[in-house]
Amino acid sequence: MHTPTPPLTPEQRAQLLATARRAIRDRVTGRPSTGLAPPDPILRAPGAAFVTLTRAGALRGCIGYVQPIKPLARAVAHCAAAAATEDPRFPAVMAQELPDLFLEISILSPLRPIADPTEIQVGLHGLYVSRGDSHGLLLPQVATEQGWDRDTFLRQACLKAELSADAWQRGATLQVFTVERVSDGEAVGAETV
């Protein structure tokens, strides 16, 4: 059984947001990354995270790590820069968009396999669906924001994995996770010199 990680402190949350903003600004403006390893051991420990970018309330990019393969702060920096410039669903963010760009960091708990889909709690659990080389992930807030019930959430996660909508009933592996959401409602903004 996995021991839950304590919530991040306000200082750790602020450091992650600053790291993400700096990574986005550096990538979008073409500057070399100025990210330094934070002294905080929690932020240097491996962590799984997604960074979601929005503009005028609409999704503008979302990239993340499902597994904790990098130190959390480095994972957040990489995901933030990638969400701004590498999400294949969107063109790269332009510098003039930065004042209107908002970010949210989702720190993922370890994935936990489930055998019974009724274990899924909409709004609490994120969903990772996989079969063979196909896999898809939806953060818990997606179901809440879209007003989905459990069955719709399962179908949409299967479609995200490029599987049939009923693959969850036909042998796809289901895993759940929770997230700690980190956001402060401030725009990425243009860097002041």
Q: Give the model confidence (pLDDT) of 87-134 as tens digits.
A: 999 999 999 999 999 999 999 999 999 999 999 999 999 999 999 999
19 and 96 together in one domain: yes
φ/ψ (deg, to 5) at 50: -125, 145
**What integer pLDDT is reported at residue 32 of this predicted model?**
82
118 and 94 together in one domain: no
100 and 20 together in one domain: yes
- Exposure class string for 78-104: b at 16+ Cβ within 10 A, else e: bbbbbbbbebeebeebeeebbeebbbb
**Residue 185 scores a pLDDT above 90:** no
**The domain that contains 118 carries what CATH number?**
3.30.1490.150
Residue range of the domain that includes 95:
10-108
Q: Does the residue 187 lie in any domain?
A: no
Q: Are 178 and 111 in contact (CB under 8 A)?
A: no
Averaged pLDDT score across all residues of the chain:
92
* DSSP summary character for residue 90: S
**What integer pLDDT is reported at residue 20 of this predicted model?**
95
Percent residues over pLDDT 70 in the chain = 94
Q: Does the residue 191 lie in any domain?
A: no
Could you tell me the pLDDT band of residue 181, with boundaries at 50, 70 and 90? very high
Directed axis angle between helix 72-85 and helix 10-29, to 10°? Answer: 40
| Total domains present in the chain | 2
Q: Is 109 exposed, middle or buried (0-12, 13-18, 19+ CB in 10 A)?
A: middle
**What integer pLDDT is reported at residue 130 of this predicted model?**
97
96 and 146 together in one domain: no
For residue 190, the tally of other CB atoms under 10 A from its CB is 13
Q: What is the pLDDT of residues 129-177, one digit of tens each?
A: 999 999 999 999 999 999 999 999 999 999 999 999 999 999 999 999 9
Q: What is the pLDDT of residues 24-62, one digit of tens each?
A: 999 999 988 766 677 899 999 999 999 999 999 999 999
Instruction: Pull the structure tokens for residue 186.
Output: 């401030």
What does each C-alpha distance from 95 to 32, 107, 184, 186 come to in angstroms?
A: 15, 26, 21, 16
**What integer pLDDT is reported at residue 2 of this predicted model?**
42
